Amino acid sequence: MAQPDTRSDAAPLGVDPDWWRQAVVYQVYPRSFADATGDGIGDIPGVTSRVGYLRELGVDAVWLSPFYPSALADGGYDVDDYRNVDPRLGTLDDFDAMVTALHDAGIRVIVDIVPNHSSNRHVWFQEALASPKGSRARDRYVFRDGLGENGELPPSDWQSVFGGPAWEPVGDGQWYLHIFATEQPDLNWADREVRDDFLHTLRFWSDRGVDGFRVDVAHGLAKGLPEVLPSAAELAEIEKLADGTHALWDRDEVHEIYAEWRAVFDEYTPPRTAVAEAWVAASRRARYASADGLGQAFNFDLLEADFDAAQFRDIITFNLEQAAASGSSSTWVLSNHDVVRHATRYGLPARGTGPDRDTVKSGTAWLLSGGTAPVLDEAGGLRKAHAATLVLLGLPGSAYLYQGEELGLQEVADIPAEERQDPTFFRTDGGEIGRDGCRVPIPWTTSGPSFGFGAGGSHLPQPAGFGASSVEAEEGDPASTLSLYRRALALRHELQGAETLEWIDGDGPDVLAFRRPDGWLIVANMGETSIPLPAGEVLLASDPVDGAELPPATTVWMRAAG
Ligand code: GLC
């Protein structure tokens, strides 16, 4: 296993409080990144062993999905203990060593914090189960009496996000709320002890040198459950109002919690940062990004859009306005651990022209067929992915990349039912395929038992041809996706702090073109026919550009002539 990279030419981290505004953040899904122990599960020493790779890729920060002790009912988003490392993934000492190695390489560290729910194995939940109705221990969660004579019916007909009922009985007439899996009981954020404990957790990781937090389900913490609960149908209507009155999501009071978090973040130099995962109406996102709160919020708009110039332009314009209004910088995302990889999304039929693009999350007909439905255009999808990525990396704001996208990995469709792990698959009886296909351990070498992921196997099966997309296969190939990402990230460091852009019109509806304040032009041909290449020097092209034409599904970064 390679040693951590300790070369001294990495940029010193410094104390710039704005380091995150234009950062490229690389998401590591620890169990599927690199396995140093050979047990088939990626781990913290595995991340440390790949610091050299991350530095060479040119990322500014790493965001680690949960690595805490967990039964893995939801890939680690069911946390048993917020202030420890899963023993299968390492120790706190391993964590400290990883932070040091990343910092020495000039890379910041962001950890995932999961405040909406704990796991059902958390000491608090075990105490709640062992304690009677009305006890202090039950107050830390959302318990309700069941309906019916003996509480044998759930308090409401609400469904969990992963399918199936959102209430689980505990045997004494009471039920607890779990918006996600049964193993993820929702915490009661009206409880002072819950709030204080998370402040403790934020300090715990900040004291260990963590630079920021990705806040899971940030819009879910504050709940407003009236005596008589609305039905699921009524809730769906209230959700459309997007006015802060929904019982579960995006209530106005949630920002009081984040004001307390901000006070903790500001105890540090530079202040710790945070980015909200908040699936809320676009008009309400800026509240999460406020400087008095978390400071930044994901926008998943590009990830949900088609490969379409008009859609991209509207989304970019809107989000830059939103970011300017909140004082934050925008966030751009095309892939993460919850959605079908973008190289695959773009290779499936466009939304509205087939059943296969209905959702980016799961359940596409192609995935349900195990990848045998003859609809995926892999090469076309990858080409569009390259083009969309160069748009993303050319935009003002911070870019969030997901491990393996820099290799052009496709979603893995043919995972046998008995090897699937995502609760979505089980809670919908396989009706929704779930998110395992983007969580398959990434290939580092062209061959070997798990393509260099580790010395042993792989906790999700890798496809036979994975080696062709490995780091080893791609790093010497100037035409590879990895080479494109490396060049793009290196060039991006030359762009200076600009947070605005100017649209350039006149090339037709399929062309997205803008000029950055530093003078660079970004031109994406998102249509199906070539267009004339604008005058100037091509700095980078998402796929080869010969002569005076910009081919379909191609983006160029240019320095304008003269
Ligand atoms: C977020 C995570 C997702 C997880 C869910 C519940 O959406 O990104 O992976 O399943 O929260 O914690």
Assess whether pLDDT exceeds 80 at residue 292: yes
For the segment 475-484, what is each residue's pLDDT rounded down to a tens digit? 999 999 999 9
* pTM assigned to the model: 0.96
Show the DSSP H helices in 90-246 as ranges: 92-104, 123-130, 136-139, 192-207, 232-241
What pLDDT is attached to residue 75? 96
Which amino acid would we find at residue 330? S
pLDDT-derived band of residue 11, with 50, 70 and 90 as boundaries? low
Q: How far apart are CA 455 and CA 496, in angstroms?
A: 42
Task: List, in order, residues 6 or more apart from 93 with CB less than 8 Å away.
Answer: none
Q: Ligand 1 atom 12: the closest Cα is on which residue? A: 77
| In contact, 135 and 125? CB cutoff 8 Å | no
Assess whether pLDDT exceeds 70 at residue 2: no
pLDDT-derived band of residue 358, with 50, 70 and 90 as boundaries? very low
- What Rg do the C-alpha atoms of the chain give, in angstroms? 23
Q: Average the pLDDT over 359-382 and give the result.
A: 78
Whether 35 sits among the annotated catalytic residues: the reply is no
| Residue 147 DSSP code | B
Q: How far apart are CA 537 and CA 219, in angstroms?
A: 45
Beta strands 554-560 and 520-525, pairing class: antiparallel
Whether 549 sits among the annotated catalytic residues: the reply is no
Q: Average the pLDDT over 346-369 and give the result.
A: 63
Work out which ligand 1 atom sits closest to the CA atom of 181: 6
Assess whether pLDDT exceeds 90 at residue 518: no
| In contact, 36 and 89? CB cutoff 8 Å | no
Q: Ligand 1 atom 4: the closest Cα is on which residue? A: 77
Work out which ligand 1 atom sits closest to the CA atom of 78: 12
Q: Average the pLDDT over 60-66 and give the result.
A: 98
Q: Which residues pair with 275 in a beta bridge?
A: 214, 296
Q: What is the full DSSP assignment across 214-229?
A: EETTTTSS-----SSP
For the segment 194-206, what is each residue's pLDDT rounded down to a tens digit? 999 999 999 999 9
Q: Average the pLDDT over 405-420 and give the result.
A: 96
| Dihedral (CA of 86, 88, 91, 96) sign | negative
pLDDT-derived band of residue 7, with 50, 70 and 90 as boundaries? very low
For the segment 236-272, what is each residue's pLDDT rounded down to a tens digit? 999 999 999 999 999 999 999 999 999 999 999 999 9
Q: How far apart are CA 93 and CA 526, in angstroms?
A: 48
What pLDDT is attached to residue 363? 42
518 or 401, which is more confident: 401
pLDDT-derived band of residue 356, with 50, 70 and 90 as boundaries? very low
For 6, 82, 214, the CA distances from 96, given in Å and listed in that order, are 15, 16, 19
Give φ, ψ of 373 to 5 degrees.
-65, 130
Q: Average the pLDDT over 66-78 and give the result.
A: 97
Q: Where are the beta strands (DSSP E) in 257-340?
A: 273-276, 295-297, 331-333
| In contact, 272 and 206? CB cutoff 8 Å | yes
Distance 254 CA to ligand 1 centre (A): 18
What pLDDT is attached to residue 361? 43
Q: Average the pLDDT over 490-496 and give the result.
A: 87
Q: Which residues line ligand 1 (CB under 6 A)?
A: 74, 77, 114, 180, 216-217, 277, 337-338
Assess whether pLDDT exceeds 90 at residue 388: yes
Among 482, 448, 485, 481, smallest CA distance to 467 is for 448
Distance 221 CA to ligand 1 centre (A): 13
Pocket residue to mutate for ligand 1, from 64, 65, 74, 400, most atoms within 8 A of Cβ: 74
Assess whether pLDDT exceeds 70 at residue 421: yes
Q: What is the full DSSP assignment across 46-57?
A: HHHHTHHHHHHH
Task: List, in order, residues 6 or more apart from 323 with CB less than 8 Å away.
Answer: 286, 289, 329, 330, 397, 499
Q: How far apart are CA 410 and CA 382, in angstroms?
A: 8
- Window from 124-128, 165-169, 221-225, 278-282 with minimum mean pLDDT: 278-282
What pLDDT is attached to residue 10? 57
Q: Average the pLDDT over 497-510 and give the result.
A: 90
Catalytic residue among 193, 243, 253, 267: 267
The Cβ-side half-sphere exposure at 204, using a 13 Å CA radius, reads: 15
Assess whether pLDDT exceeds 90 at residue 562: no
Pocket residue to mutate for ligand 1, from 72, 111, 180, most atoms within 8 A of Cβ: 180
What pLDDT is attached to residue 357? 40
Assess whether pLDDT exceeds 90 at residue 496: no
Top-confidence range, 367-376, 414-423, 494-503: 414-423
Q: What is the full DSSP assignment across 238-249?
A: HHHH-SS--SSS
Averaged pLDDT of the chain: 93
For the segment 530-544, what is each residue's pLDDT rounded down to a tens digit? 999 999 999 999 999
**What's the burial of 540, exposed, middle or buried (CB within 10 Å: 0-12/13-18/19+)?**
buried
Largest CA distance in the chain: 81
Assess whether pLDDT exceeds 50 at residue 8: no
Percent of residues, the chain, with pLDDT higher than 70:
95
Token pair of 426, please? 């089980």
Assess whether pLDDT exceeds 60 at residue 48: yes
Q: Ligand 1 atom 7: the closest Cα is on which residue? A: 217
Q: How far apart are CA 116 and CA 122, in angstroms?
A: 13
432 or 392, which is more confident: 392
Q: How far apart are CA 257 and CA 354, in angstroms?
A: 43
Q: Which residues pair with 295 in a beta bridge?
A: 274
For the segment 151-177, what is each residue's pLDDT rounded down to a tens digit? 999 999 999 999 999 999 999 999 999
Catalytic residue among 197, 216, 338, 405: 216
Q: How far apart are CA 108 and CA 101, in angstroms?
A: 10
| In contact, 422 and 75? CB cutoff 8 Å | yes
Assess whether pLDDT exceeds 60 at residue 213: yes
3-state SS assignment for residue 517: coil
CA end-to-end span of the chain: 49
